């Protein structure tokens, strides 16, 4: 994916995402086309552009991901 596709969102993500430490959680909920981020269950920001959620989730879930093993684990779940 060309950088020009996701570059417009980088500054927004940097402003939303806090420093994350062991034990913290960062969650994204897609709600009516909006991407809502939660840090330790507290809402920390929203990206309103509908295309963002697909771009972001494709990092892990697209068949063309560079993280094929992680994608397989996410899609199949933990079978141990």
Q: Is the pTM of this model over 0.85?
A: no
Res 78 pLDDT > 60: no
DSSP string, 13-69: HHHH-----TT--EEEEEETTEEEEEETTEEEEEE--HHHHHHHHHHHHSTT-S-HH
The more confident residue out of 4 and 48 is 48
The more confident residue out of 8 and 78 is 8
Of the candidates 30, 31, 26, 32, the one whose C-alpha atom is nearest the C-alpha of residue 13 is 26
Q: Are 25 and 51 in contact (CB under 8 A)?
A: no
- 80: pLDDT confidence band, cut at 50, 70 and 90? low
Res 65 pLDDT > 90: no
pLDDT of residue 58: 85
pLDDT of residue 15: 94
């Amino acid at each position: 994916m060309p950088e020009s596709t996701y570059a417009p969102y980088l500054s927004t993500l940097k402003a939303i995402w806090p420093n994350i430490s062991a034990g913290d959680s960062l969650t994204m909920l897609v709600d009516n086309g909006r991407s809502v981020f939660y840090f330790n269950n507290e809402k920390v920001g929203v990206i309103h552009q509908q295309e963002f959620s697909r771009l972001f989730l494709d990092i892990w879930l697209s068949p063309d991901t560079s993280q094929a093993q992680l994608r397989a684990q996410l899609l199949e779940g933990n079978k141990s």
